[in-house]
């Protein structure tokens, strides 16, 4: 600092050296960014894209489901919302064909994720959000929903119904687990 | 002294130059109230920052506290209503101001050379303003915001290619949850505002570089005025009007409490924020494989149009009269968006179908008749097995204690809301039918008032079914006035026994007591779950023959021991019953029949805490207490508005007279000063 007043010795103004320095600065900066950007983006993304594998949970005896109409069946499942461990209430629609044959629908409208309802007087499921209509067997009749209601994996053991809770990609014609 | 300090600072930081760059500008044609919308948007954005920061002093971005912390700010913090109200309505007005500003520039042809970049930056600002509106709506974690975000992020997910990544990046996982709220929060309070600030700076620098566009008529452009202070004064005056309007909205039209977010709710009809309603309407027009045209296509085309506008409309002509095509396109877009928004506002897809179908169902009489014919065709019923008999005995107890007798008569005892069940066993209903009737009565008759008894265990339902199939006597004719009078007469009671239970007798309240529910939603839930015992609108009168009181307590008006003017205390009292249930005192259960009791809807998880909070809000409203009453307003909202109005009027009057006086005094020199 003291000798700032003294005559300066000019740095080399060799053009090739200068362009080397420019490119070098860019490369260093680029790599520094990259080395941080990849992990930082990964922290936001891969956590989100991880598929959670559900397990079969007891949803009560098959005998308590009536045979005529789809019926809401509730069951509780311990679940984790990120770091919050909680008992989550699941609500699914069950349609019984026989003691050993039950179809279980996810309660989530395959259109954009609202909760549809059963309307017994019309024998149809109707979603309040954009008015999608589904038949008793889950087939989409009209409305914006791109596919039929999503069935959930089930199994029946000793007269008890077990359901595996899953979520599917919304708004697309194919049923893809997410 | 002061000038010394000024100079000292200026030597080290170019205050003067920056001030000059910010303020010195000649406006062709002079200042005008047509130009106030841009700066009004800027002022409003600054106000949003302030009110937003003030909210974060109280708001907590977690799924279990977001709703309550915001409610706390709104009703318990002095002027919390004002802070939140200004922010809520400010967001709405900001979108409007941006749209008006954009339209103004469009009509004036302000996007044309050499101001293309200013325009482009402005379109980005519109985009980010919309993003603020979308992310902000989720933060209260109430029904409206939760469902709008659920649908909104799902739409993002349907984008070809990048959809998956965009959706899970926004949500932080497959479903809406804590990570979603955290992400929306950080986007709304840090990332997007930072981008907005940067783009506002770029927008303003670009604007200063090329200056105001001014009127399109050459004749009008000859005059000129300066930005500071002429235009800024007009801007400030306009902004006081905006500010007053916002205070009025906050005071007279408080943002609604839509109730805490309930992910398993099927009754709520989600709609997006009003500024996305046109898209919501558009989705309905494009169905099936065409849907992305509506959800992704329309906004893409709109923004592509705005972005590319300065590049394909290169004609330097700015007068709207000479740009018929541009004016037509603008009109069509503005008209289309307005119509879609209005029709979206008034559309209720689910509700309409409900209304129509209920009417259709009521014209179908067939059901009960067919049951009767089945009875006639089945003369011989199998006798009861010993196991069934044992079950029937237990079932009789369940029947007596779970509230069935309030509505159903068996052998002459009980209420008359539902059918007489004395001969239920003769009807040959299948076990499954009976189980379904108990668990989910609406599956047989959508209009039934019978509540679903989901809180019973499977064993209990089985016992009830055994009991019901054991009932094989002829129903006593309903017109037996003596029994029903007897049933309504309160039972004799020992002097030391209370007629009813006090809130403290039944147990602690649940989480629902602390959440501010939504009255309309609560009414729907009340009608479905509570009205069958507590009467329509809680008016009571439903007999409970086993209890000392003789009827189920009315909730409208509620018993004085439960009532309180303090909404928190009132909610607490009600929730103790809804959470834990109640068993009204009566003679011992062995005698005649036990009084029917109320199940703990919270404890048994028959209703979610969110649902209970809505019911509480409804019952309180029946009793004239507003659950969302502002407890500590600081100054009462309406008073505050009139105060602000008075202050501004006085201010405007003083400024107006000053101006009159000074212009009269300086008529001779005015031409001179105008030039400067
Ligand atoms: S979410 Fe069900 S119709 Fe749109």
Q: Which of residues 644-673 of B touch A (CB under 8 A)?
A: none
Q: Which residues contact B543 (CB under 8 A, 6 or more apart)?
A: B406, B415, B484, B487, B488, B550, B551, B552
**Probe ligand 1: pick from A130, A134, A167, max atoms within 8 Å of CB?**
A130
Say if the Cβ atoms of A74 and B454 lie within 8 Å. yes
Q: What percent of chain B has pLDDT over 70?
A: 85
Residue numbers in B near A170 (CB within 8 A): 154, 157-158
pLDDT band at B365; cut points 50, 70, 90: very low
Among A110-124, B76-90, B589-603, name the one with the lowest average pLDDT.
Answer: B589-603
Looking at residue B163, its pLDDT comes to: 83
> What pLDDT was estimated at residue B460?
80
Q: Which residue of A has its CA nearest to B460?
A: A64
pLDDT for B419 equals 81
Peptide bond preceding B557 in cis form (omega within 30 of 0): yes
Q: Of B420-424, B527-531, B614-618, which range is least confident?
A: B420-424
* Higher-pLDDT residue of B181, B467: B181
**Over chain B, what is the mean pLDDT?**
84
pLDDT at residue number A9: 66
Nearest to B279 by CA among B158, B163, B189: B158
Read off the pLDDT of each residue in B119-131 and give the average, rounded to a whole number.
97
Q: Which residue has the higher pLDDT, B441 or B362?
A: B441
H-helix segments, B24-65: 36-56
Q: Which residue has the tokens 């010795």?
A: A9
By C-alpha distance, the chain B residue nearest A141 is: B288
Option in A66, A120, A128 nearest B433 (CB)? A66
Give the confidence band of B488 by pLDDT, cuts at 50, 70, 90. Answer: very low
Q: How far apart are CA B340 and CA B197, in angstroms?
A: 31
B665: left (phi over 0), alpha (psi -120 to 50) or beta: alpha
Task: Give the one of A64, A67, A172 whose C-beta lies nearest to B461's C-beta.
Answer: A64
- The 3-state secondary structure of B284-326, one letter per residue: HHCCHHHHHHHHHHHHHHHHHHHHHHHHHCCCCCCCHHHCHHH
Residue A103, strand partner residues: A95
Is residue B544 reached through a cis peptide bond, with omega within 30 degrees of 0 on the bond before it? Answer: no
Please name the residue whose Cα sits nearest to atom 3 of ligand 1.
Answer: A130
Q: What is the mean pLDDT of residues B238-247?
A: 96
**Residue B204: both structure tokens together:** 């303003």
Q: Please indicate whether residue B356 or residue B540 has the higher confidence score (pLDDT).
A: B540
Are B615 and B520 a contacting pair, CB within 8 Å? no
Q: What is the DSSP annotation of B583-623?
A: ----S-TTSS-PPP-B--TTTTTSS-HHHHHHHHHHHHHHT
* Rounded Cα–Cα distance for residues B413 and B430 (Å): 25
pLDDT at B349: 62
Contact A129 B151 (CB under 8 A): yes
Interface of A with B in 86-145 (CB under 8 A): 89, 91, 96, 107, 112-122, 126-131, 142-144
Q: Mean pLDDT, to the nearest integer, of B648-662?
A: 91
> In this complex, how many residue pairs, one in chain A and one in chain B, have their CB atoms less than 8 Å apart?
169
pLDDT confidence tier of residue B358, bands split at 50, 70 and 90: very low
Q: What is the model's pLDDT at position B369? A: 34
What is the per-residue pLDDT across B81-92, written as a single tens digit (0 to 9) for each? 999 999 999 999
Which range scores top for mean pLDDT: A92-96, B220-224, B444-448?
Answer: A92-96
Task: State residue B483 phi and psi, 5-degree precision.
Answer: -70, -40
Q: State yes or no: pLDDT of A51 exceeds 70.
A: no
* DSSP conformation letters of B143-201: HHHHHHHHHHHHHHHTSTTTHHHHHHHHHSSSS-SHHHHHHHHHIIIIIHHHHHHHHHH
Q: Which of residues 607-646 of B touch A (CB under 8 A)?
A: 608
Contact map slice: B 249-278 vs A, CB within 8 A? 264-270
User: Pick from A83, A117, A120: which is nearest to B266 by CB?
Assistant: A117
Mean pLDDT over residues B50-54, rounded? 98
Lowest pLDDT segment from B332-346, B412-426, B566-580:
B412-426
Judge: A74–B171 Cβ closer than 8 Å, yes or no: no
pLDDT attached to residue B437: 81
- Close Cβ partners of B115 (under 8 Å, ≥ 6 residues apart): B206, B207, B210, B213, B310
From the list B175, B287, B364, which residue is nearest A144 (CB)?
B287
User: Which comes out higher in pLDDT, residue B494 or B111?
Assistant: B111
Tell whether pTM > 0.80: yes
Residue B2 has a pLDDT of 83
- Its ipTM equals 0.85
Enter the DSSP assignment of B260.
B
Q: Between these two residues, B17 and B500, which has the higher pLDDT value?
A: B17
Average pLDDT of span B59-73: 96
The Cα–Cα gap between B94 and B74 comes to: 21
Question: φ and ψ at A119, to 5 degrees?
Answer: -115, 95
Hey, which residues does A155 pair with through a beta bridge?
A: A162
Interface test with B, best of A114, A148, A173 (most B CBs within 10 A): A114
pLDDT (average), residues B185-203: 97
Among B405-409, B501-505, B528-532, B622-626, the least confident range = B405-409
| Band of residue B101 on the pLDDT scale cut at 50, 70, 90 | very high
Residue of B nearest to A41 (CA): B169
């Amino acid at each position: 600092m003291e000798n700032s007043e003294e005559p300066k010795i000019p740095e080399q103004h060799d053009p090739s050296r200068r362009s080397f320095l420019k490119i070098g600065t860019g490369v260093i900066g680029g790599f520094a960014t990259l080395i941080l950007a990849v992990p930082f983006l990964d922290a936001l993304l891969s956590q989100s894209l991880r598929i959670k594998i559900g397990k079969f949970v007891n949803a009560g005896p098959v005998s308590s489901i009536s045979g005529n109409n789809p019926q809401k069946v509730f069951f509780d499942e311990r679940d984790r919302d990120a770091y919050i461990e909680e008992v989550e209430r699941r609500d699914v629609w069950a349609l019984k064909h026989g003691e050993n044959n039950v179809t279980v629908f996810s309660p989530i409208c395959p259109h954009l994720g609202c909760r549809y309802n059963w309307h017994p007087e019309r024998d149809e499921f109707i979603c309040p959000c954009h008015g999608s209509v589904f038949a008793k067997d889950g087939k989409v009749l009209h409305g914006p929903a791109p596919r039929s209601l999503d069935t959930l994996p089930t199994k029946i053991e000793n007269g008890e119904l077990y359901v595996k809770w899953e979520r599917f990609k919304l708004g697309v014609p194919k049923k893809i687990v997410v | 002294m002061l000038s010394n300090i000024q100079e000292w600072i200026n030597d080290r930081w170019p205050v003067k130059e920056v001030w000059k760059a910010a303020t010195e500008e000649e406006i062709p044609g002079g200042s005008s109230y047509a130009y106030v919308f841009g700066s009004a948007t800027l002022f409003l954005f600054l106000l949003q920052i302030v009110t937003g920061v003030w909210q974060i002093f109280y708001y907590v971005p977690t799924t279990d506290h977001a709703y309550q912390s915001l409610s706390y700010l709104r009703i318990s913090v002095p002027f919390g209503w004002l802070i939140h109200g200004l922010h809520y309505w400010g967001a709405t007005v900001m979108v409007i101001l941006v749209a008006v500003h954009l339209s103004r520039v469009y009509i004036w042809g302000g996007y044309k050379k050499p101001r293309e970049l200013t325009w482009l930056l402005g379109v980005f600002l519109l985009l980010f303003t919309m993003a603020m509106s979308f992310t902000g709506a989720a933060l209260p974690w109430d029904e409206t915001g939760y469902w709008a975000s659920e649908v909104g992020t799902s739409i993002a997910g349907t984008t070809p290619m990048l959809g998956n990544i965009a959706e899970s990046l926004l949500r932080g996982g497959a479903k809406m949850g804590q990570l979603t709220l955290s992400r929306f929060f950080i986007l709304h309070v840090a990332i997007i505002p930072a981008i907005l600030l940067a783009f506002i700076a770029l927008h303003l620098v670009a604007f200063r570089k090329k200056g105001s566009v001014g009127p399109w008529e050459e004749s009008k452009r000859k005059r000129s005025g300066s930005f500071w202070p002429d235009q800024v004064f007009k801007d400030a005056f306009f902004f006081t009007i905006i500010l007053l309007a916002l205070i009025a909205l906050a005071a007279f039209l408080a943002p609604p409490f839509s109730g805490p977010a309930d992910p398993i709710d099927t009754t709520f009809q989600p709609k997006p924020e009003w500024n996305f309603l046109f898209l919501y309407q558009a989705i309905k027009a494009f169905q099936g494989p065409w849907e992305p045209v509506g959800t992704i296509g329309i906004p893409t085309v709109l923004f592509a149009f705005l972005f590319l506008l300065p590049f394909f409309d290169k004609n330097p002509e700015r007068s709207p009269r000479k740009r018929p095509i541009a004016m037509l396109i603008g009109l069509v877009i503005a008209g289309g968006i307005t119509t879609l928004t209005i029709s979206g506002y008034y559309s209720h897809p689910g509700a309409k179908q409900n209304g129509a179908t209920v009417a259709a169902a009521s014209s179908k009489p067939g059901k009960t008749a067919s049951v009767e014919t089945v009875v006639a065709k089945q003369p011989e019923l199998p006798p009861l097995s010993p196991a069934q008999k044992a079950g029937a005995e237990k079932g009789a107890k369940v029947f007596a204690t779970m509230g069935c007798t309030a509505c159903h008569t068996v052998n002459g005892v009980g209420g008359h809301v539902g059918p007489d069940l004395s001969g239920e066993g003769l009807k040959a209903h299948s076990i499954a039918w009976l189980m379904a009737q108990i668990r989910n009565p609406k599956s047989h008759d959508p209009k039934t008032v019978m509540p679903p008894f989901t809180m019973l265990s499977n064993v209990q339902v089985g016992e009830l079914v055994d009991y019901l199939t054991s009932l094989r006597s002829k129903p006593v004719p309903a017109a037996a006035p003596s029994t029903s009078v007897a049933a309504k007469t309160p039972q004799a009671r020992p002097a030391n026994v209370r007629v009813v239970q006090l809130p403290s007798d039944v147990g602690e309240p649940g989480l629902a007591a602390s959440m501010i529910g939504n009255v309309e939603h609560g009414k729907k839930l009340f009608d479905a779950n509570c009205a069958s015992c507590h009467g329509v609108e809680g008016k009571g009168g439903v007999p409970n023959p086993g209890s000392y009181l003789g009827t189920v307590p009315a909730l409208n008006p509620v018993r004085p021991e439960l009532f309180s003017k303090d909404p928190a205390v009132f909610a607490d009292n009600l929730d103790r019953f809804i959470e834990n249930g109640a068993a009204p005192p009566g003679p011992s259960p062995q005698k005649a029949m036990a009084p029917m009791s109320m199940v703990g809807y919270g404890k048994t998880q028959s209703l979610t805490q969110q649902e209970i909070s809505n019911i509480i809000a409804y019952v309180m409203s029946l009793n004239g207490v507003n659950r969302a009453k502002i407890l500590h307003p600081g100054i009462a909202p309406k008073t505050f508005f009139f105060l602000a109005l008075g202050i501004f009027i006085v201010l405007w009057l003083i400024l107006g007279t000053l101006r009159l006086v000074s212009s009269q005094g300086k008529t001779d020199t005015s031409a001179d000063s105008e030039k400067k």
